[in-house]
Structure 1
Amino acid sequence: MPTALETQIRAALLGLAVGDALGVPVEFQSRAARRLDPVVHMRAYGTHNQPAGTWSDDASLTFCLAESIARGYDLADLSRRFINWYEYGYWTPHGSVFDVGVATAAAIRRLQTGVSPTKSGGAGDYDNGNGSLMRILPLVFISKHLPIAERFAKTCEVSSVTHAHIRSVLTCFIYLELARHLLLGSSKEEAYQKMQQDINEFCVTTGVASEAEIRRFHRILETPYEGYNIRPLTSYSREEVDSGGYVIHTLEAAFWCLLRHDTFVETVLAAVNLGDDTDTTGAVVGGLAGIYYSEAAIPAEWLAVLARRPDIEDLAARVATQLHE
């Protein structure tokens, strides 16, 4: 009988992989295309010519992090797993890499030359794609009971292996803080409000990010400042939500889908049908929706075709054993 912790980890990993796999066949296709032909089930082939149930780099790198946690979290170990994935197809659905982000590939090449994992991630203004956000979720299982400053430090470490800019780090941190409150039993609305309170207070008291950077999160944090009228994220229309590869847009889209819909199925399909970076938006919200609605809410027919499902379930069990709450 799985423990409560194992059940949560399974739901997170399977939910993320399912959301990713739903998006893979239609990645890079427009929102207009999804209006005409919405995704309603697990498709095959399409953009990457992969069988139904195939997940991408989002889930692969998530599983690399989970593997590192299962063996005792270590940045050097995580870096080796990223290299092994990139070069040899480790933790891929079918033995080879078919999708990789530019910033992630560049960071892994730096790791291969011996650059420290604390220095390998891009830190420029243009290094803010969603490549660390898409893989960060397992970190919540080892950080959820730590003080907030330690939770932030861990987030900074893991994000910075590929994405070291404070914007990417803060996006990952916001995501994990919401996931944390979901794991601790809050409703999604309560979790969102608690996350806002925690993040706003942390940013003010620590000065971890400039005011200009914090303002970039105004839709999510609802932080008031002169000249800006606060609107709740849920008040934005579908047309006002961007679903491209910019890290803040991915987080906004994922949170919008979570807050505006009431089942796992509705939530992940809403994400994928926003178009553009469909696999990542699906993965990011799929992990949260898995935690919130549980594995039982994921359609059996989707799980039945999910690549390497037994391996994912075994990984969840090994992470839970290592953490042994």
Structure 2
Amino acid sequence: MQPTSKILSGLMGLCVGDALGVPVEFTSRAERVKMPVTEMTGYGTYNQPPGTWSDDSSLTFCLANSLCAGFSLEAIGDAFGWWYSEGYWTPYGEVFDVGNTTRQAITNLQRGVLPLNAGLTSASNNGNGSLMRILPLSFYYKNLSFSELIERVHQVSRITHGHCRSQIACGIYTSIAINLLKRLDPKSAYLQGIKNIKSIYTQPVTVREINSHFHRVFSGNIETLSIDEIHSTGYVIHTLEAALWCLLNTSSYAESVLKAVNLGEDTDTTAAVTGGLAGIYYGLENIPKEWVAQIARKDDIVALATRLEAAINSSSKK
């Protein structure tokens, strides 16, 4: 497989991180310190073979595939439903992991609730289920104004995760990813990303959320926190902070995703969110080839990235 676009390196980077974390999901940090993950393994938590990716990658690929035909919240919601009910965009035709908030939202969609109303809106529904799949929208940064793109990010989050905290986390992540796509180094992309997104979040409700829950991210020095101050649960703030911390405290793709996995707990999602950013920055050629070789349906992922790139290029010419 030859190194090609940042789209492929981002999608594959996310998927490889996910697959590294799947076998040890829900294990403690103490367990990971005692027996750190150093390579692609299998079985473990879900008894899946090496290279198996989870709902994180599945829903990312569902979003990416839907975007190939244009932006439609209904089509994205339908794809999520097909994944949940029929195993669409799964490694082996079956779903083995799904978050409670995502499950309830997809049930809402299947009952006919409109996509923008399907996502749960309670503060207790701020898991990382929309953050983990939002990366494909960042690839449209040349096609849309920044404010238009972030509005789409918020809408796609709302399909499953409707609380403003989840939407803001997706916006921050996308803003940083865009600056990595512009070839800034991780620290510069982080600083520019939080600067750019803060100009969007000026409404009182978002300002309150940022001041209450995102102050560590907007400090501009998230990487200076100690490992004991970084949490790796399924809470969206924890995942965003951990991913940025791992990216900014490492100097290679492999180092970044292994650091994420070895934080323990929600290992697949922390590594997927980290891996999407690291994949963009370091490129496919710097993702260990032996890891990529083991990824389930890797040729389908390459083909998806090619289709998405063609769709983006086509829409930019209109």
State the TM-score, normalized to the length of structure 2.
Answer: 0.95
Name the structure 2 match of 1:99: 97
Q: Which runs of 4+ in 1 moved over 6 A?
A: none
Amino acid at match of 1:275: G
Aligned with residue 259 of structure 2, among 262, 266, 270 = 270
1:69 alignment partner in structure 2: 67
Deviations along 1:57-114, whole A, 9 cap, x unmatched? 0000000000001122211111111110000100000110000000000000000000
1:111–1:120 contact (8 Å) kept in structure 2: yes
Instruction: List aligned pairs for 1:1-325, cutoff 5 A.
Output: 7-204=5-202, 206-207=203-204, 209-222=206-219, 232-324=221-313
Residue identity opposite 1:308 in structure 2: R
Structure 1 gap ranges (5+): 223-230
Matches of 2:92 and 2:301 in 1, distance apart?
A: 14
Is the contact between residue 144 and residue 151 of structure 1 (CA under 8 Å) also seen in structure 2?
Answer: no
Aligned length: 314
Shift of 1:144: 4.7
Amino acid corresponding to residue 185 of structure 1 in structure 2: R
Q: CA deviation at 1:199?
A: 2.2
Tell me if the contact between 2:164 and 2:206 (Cα under 8 Å) persists in the aligned partners. Answer: yes
- Secondary structure of 1:126's match? helix
- Structure 1 residue 208 displacement after superposition: 5.7
Q: Counterpart of 1:43 in structure 2: which amino acid? A: T
- CA pair 145-220 structure 1, distance change in 2 beyond 3 A: farther
In 2, Cα distance between equivalents of 1:264 and 1:68: 28
What is the Cα deviation at residue 159 of structure 1?
Answer: 0.2
How many Å apart are 1:145 and its aligned residue?
A: 4.4
Contact 1:144–1:180 (8 Å) recurs in 2: no
Structure 2 residues without counterparts, runs of 5 or longer: none
How far apart are residue 320 of structure 1 and its match?
0.8
Counterpart CA distance in 2 for 1:215 and 1:315 is 39
Tell me the alpha carbon deviations over residues 18-52 of structure 1, each in whole angstroms, 9 at most, x when there is no partner.
00000000000000000000000000100000000
Percentage of pairs with the same residue: 50
| C-alpha contact (below 8 Å) 1:143/1:151 kept by paired residues | yes
1:207 to 1:199, Cα distance in 2 relative to 1, 3 A? farther
Alignment CA distance shift 1:124-1:281 (3 Å): same
Aligned 8 A contact 1:182 1:191 in 2: yes
Deviation at 1:212, TM superposition (A): 4.3
Shift of 1:209: 0.8
In structure 1, what residue type is equivalent to 2:132?
A: M
| Distance of 1:79 and 1:196 partners within structure 2 | 29
Alignment partners' CA distance in 1, 2:125 and 2:43: 30
171-180 or 136-145, which deviates more: 136-145
